[in-house]
Structure 1
Amino acid sequence: MTIANMPLSRRAALRGLGVSLTLPFLESVAPRLAMASGQISKPPVRMAYIFVPNGVHLDNWTPKEFGYGYELPYILQPLSRVRDDMLVVSGLTHDKGRANGDGPGDHARSASVFLTGAQPRKTDGSNIRSGVSVDQVAANLTRGATRFASLELGCEPGRTAGNCDSGYSCAYSSSISWSSSSTPLGKETNPRSAFERLFSQGSSAEIDKSQKKREMLRKSVLDFVSDDAKRLQNRLGRDDQKKLDEYLTGVREIERRIERANEDRSSIVDIDYPIPEGVPGDYTEHLRLMCDMMVLAFQTDSTRIATCMFADAGSNRSYRHINVNDGHHDLSHHQSKPEKLAKISEINRFHVAQLAYLLEKMKATPDGESNLLDNTMVCYGSGLSDGNRHNNENLPVIVAGRAGGTIDTGRHLAVPTETPMCNLFMSMLDRFGTPVDFIGDSTGRVPGLQI
């Protein structure tokens, strides 16, 4: 059925051979849904979790002031344009990231505990065990509401077997999403594959045929849905026509960047693992394309839950593009040496700059009567505080977005020492509409998210 004779709905899509572009939230659609349901239609709340490895340099991360009007320290300065749209949270702890009798392996534990709050079983065999992660708790309770229950992304492929950290399986270091206590979810590290997944439809044979045809003819996914797009434009109001045009332009621009990533691989200077076709040699572009995938997925309501690992736990990637030639993990064992701490700060600031890119793009994306960031919760942080001490208290955490108006942002929020990180997850699940009795080692909710 084409858009010409299809009744408009929240999930209306432009379709072509093996291609489906789900529409963003359109005002022309919302009133019809509201009339049909007798309720005011409003965008859903989304939830994203972003992991960075090896802790941070806390002195350059933590604001000195609490509450409103705090000054952004050096590492967080790239977030200046969205400071009023986020919380810096201090005092959260992941007790199950500590050894608790299991000895070394802090990096592996830091990733596996990040969204589960569960002590991982120390093993490098197939009998791995952790806990269900917060993103998958929500995904299991909302399965069927969107095309994809959740989206798992990353920038390093990692390994799923073998010993990666002092007797811990590599599965712990390369995964933060767990659908069950024994099932870590793989992550998509190839932007092209993530793009194809978001905008493909039909059988695997149809999808494969569509992709090969587009590549052979050097055509965009938009070329395959252009007829549907033209018919739809005639059914929309002026504002929605502009919104749809901006959306399609944005999709095409991302597609072009992915194509350029395939064509120009001369910038591979700091990658220490095999790069599959479609992965940019430029790490900054790789990160930003993955951020773009999250925005597109949320904008089109393809999913409302996403995770992204900027790098795997214990990553020793170098950052030559910001003049840091040393490996990240090596530097994290800084022994309080000023020159190493300065380099760690630069890496931390670089990661935060990519978070700023994501948040600013969300804020610039219309969503109902507000913007995408206002209707989202983005939790960014690490499972370690200081990479040298390998400690798990006072974790570096940012919560961005207002979750549909239920989070009071623009503050540095301090919670009592040893407050479980899982208490924050409980509060986020409440706002997502999927409250549970507990997750991991939670003891309640985080107070003060909304004043």
Structure 2
Amino acid sequence: MFDRRSILQAFGGTLTLPMLESTASAASPASATTPTRLLIVANPFGAHPEHFFPTEFGTDFQFPKTLSSLEWLRDRISILSHTDHNMKSGHGREIAFLSGVLPETSAAFPEKNMSIDQIVARHTGTHTRFASVNACLERSIRLSWNANGVDIKPFTDAQRMYDHLFLNLTAQQRQQRRQLLQQNRSVLDAVREQFSGVRKRASKNDQVRLDLYANALRDLEQNLVDRQQWVDRDKPKFDLSGYFTGSDITIDNRYNAVFDMVAYAFQTDLTRVATIGFSPELSYTDVNGVTRGYHACTHNGKKEDTVAELVAIESFQISQLSRCLKKLDEIPEPGADGSMLDHTVVLFGSGMGYGGTHSNRNLPVLVAGGGFKHCGHVDTRDAGGDNMPLCNLFLTLLQRFGLEYDQFNQSSGSFDFATAKA
């Protein structure tokens, strides 16, 4: 019998063995000529609802203060009111934003609490140098989760993110990387040998599970082949120096650097999936009018001056997103109509509705770009007045990448952008 622990350690926890009754995946879509990308931007404390959600539904609405920097995207944006994961309110539930599932209840779901960015990355990552890129300056908000229920640690420093994406390996490092890949292939060969013996002794039901595992082994083998091809290929060049000239290092230029590196990684096809988080520990005192901490501003007691600071923080977050989307919109999509933004699914939101009350209902969610027929501001409640499961939207986003899902975790259906209905 093979050693389950040693296999998991050898591949960094990326390979999950099936649980077999006798011992008490899905295929990647064909690569399209024009890639579809996914950008997710999130914060930990939601948004002040009166300044995030428009007062009118439909396409003829007035952009509220927090979203004012996105007005240029009016025809390519959908703002979804009344969505959530039907969870009790309070801190700690925001980690389920991109899955709708908390770690402690994840065993009941086929994808566990794997976040949608990692599901997409699993299917697009073989075409790019990096399956995904994750950033959250300062402490993480635990946004991305892998197939084993482990949260993915993002880059919390712009320089380290630059080194990962754009700094080439030395000759010695390339040789070490080749040796590591060869070692992993040797382990995989050993697993395959032991695997064939296990299958012969397995029950009928376990043989079905092992067949699925065999597919995972083949996918992993292909992944190792794909990683090998990048060892001797130089990365694209990116100049980081201009973001940190002079004596001031502000939240503005730090996030400018992060968003621009992601945009360039998309442009050069280093990756097709990225998440960017705004940490609960970030200091926003560089933002005009902000004197308090981010978390302190959420507990504002409806005091006008404190609410104004919170809205300034949230407006800054959206303006950073808007700046990135303008960059993507200025880049023509190679070999296709439209811009890179038209081929990039952009999701902004939070797993908390509003930090002032610790509400996890009516999450602030918007989608931009991605080639959808957008619907403006949408009330997603059903005829009975119940909020739409946010997983309905996630199901539609996954299907946009050619993934053949009929249901995703808590979904009750899919969200139709054309009709603005679930």
Q: TM-score, normalised by structure 1?
A: 0.65
Instruction: Verify: 1:306 aligned to 2:255, yes or no.
Output: no
Aligned partner of 1:187 in structure 2 is: 154
| Offset, 1:418 | 2.1
Give the helix-richer structure, 1 or 2: 2
Aligned partner of 1:295 in structure 2 is: 263
| Offset, 1:410 | 5.6
> In the alignment, is the contact (CA less than 8 A) between 2:97 and 2:350 conserved in 1?
yes
Residues 1:120 and 1:335: Cα distance change in structure 2 (over 3 Å): farther
Q: Matches of 2:97 and 2:303 in 1, distance apart?
A: 28
| Offset, 1:201 | 4.8
Aligned partner of 1:138 in structure 2 is: 120
The aligned length equals 321
Instruction: Verify: 1:77 aligned to 2:77, yes or no.
Output: no
Q: Deviations along 1:375-415, whole A, 9 cap, x unmatched? A: 011100121122111111211111010x2x3x112611221
Which residue identity is paired with 1:198? L
Task: Name the SS for the 1:308 alignment partner.
Answer: strand
Q: Deviations along 1:1-48, whole A, 9 cap, x unmatched? A: xxxxxxxxxxxxxxxxxxxxxxxxxxxxxxxxxxxxxx9974211111
Give the strand-richer structure, 1 or 2: 1
Aligned partner of 1:68 in structure 2 is: 59
Aligned partner of 2:345 in structure 1 is: 377
Instruction: Verify: 1:94 aligned to 2:94, yes or no.
Output: no
2:376 is aligned, of 392, 411, 432, to 411
Q: Matches of 1:377 and 1:149 in 2, distance apart?
A: 16
Q: Matches of 2:333 and 2:418 in 1, distance apart?
A: 22
Instruction: For 1:332-347, list aligned pairs within 5 A.
Output: 332-347=298-313
Unaligned runs of 5+ in 1: 1-38, 100-105, 123-129, 159-173, 209-250, 268-280
> In the alignment, is the contact (CA less than 8 A) between 2:375 and 2:418 conserved in 1?
no
Q: How well do the aligned residues superpose, as a CA RMSD in angstroms?
A: 2.8
Q: Deviations along 1:403-442, whole A, 9 cap, x unmatched? A: 2x3x112611221142111111110000011232433322
> In the alignment, is the contact (CA less than 8 A) between 1:316 and 1:329 conserved in 2?
no
Aligned partner of 1:328 in structure 2 is: 294
Aligned partner of 2:407 in structure 1 is: 438
Task: Name the SS for the 1:371 alignment partner.
Answer: coil
Instruction: Verify: 1:150 aligned to 2:118, yes or no.
Output: no
Aligned partner of 2:48 in structure 1 is: 57
2:96 is aligned, of 104, 113, 116, to 113
Which residue identity is paired with 2:92? A
Aligned partner of 1:319 in structure 2 is: 285
| Offset, 1:204 | 7.2
Residues 1:180 and 1:263: Cα distance change in structure 2 (over 3 Å): same
Aligned partner of 2:8 in structure 1 is: none
Aligned partner of 2:180 in structure 1 is: none
| Offset, 1:143 | 3.6
Residues 1:343 and 1:199: Cα distance change in structure 2 (over 3 Å): closer
> In the alignment, is the contact (CA less than 8 A) between 1:153 and 1:307 conserved in 2?
yes
Unaligned runs of 5+ in 2: 1-29, 106-111, 176-235
Which residue identity is paired with 1:205? Q
| Offset, 1:317 | 2.8
Instruction: Verify: 1:282 aligned to 2:235, yes or no.
Output: no
Residues 1:289 and 1:316: Cα distance change in structure 2 (over 3 Å): closer
Task: Name the SS for the 2:274 alignment partner.
Answer: strand
Instruction: For 1:162-311, list aligned pairs within 5 A.
Output: 174-201=141-168, 205-206=172-173, 255=239, 258-261=240-243, 264=246, 266-267=247-248, 281-311=249-279
Aligned partner of 1:422 in structure 2 is: 391
Which residue identity is paired with 2:360? N
Q: Matches of 2:104 and 2:409 in 1, distance apart?
A: 14
| Offset, 1:261 | 4.7
Instruction: Verify: 1:353 aligned to 2:319, yes or no.
Output: yes
Q: TM-score, normalised by structure 2?
A: 0.70
Q: Deviations along 1:286-345, whole A, 9 cap, x unmatched? A: 11211112211211222111111122xx43634343121101101101122222212111
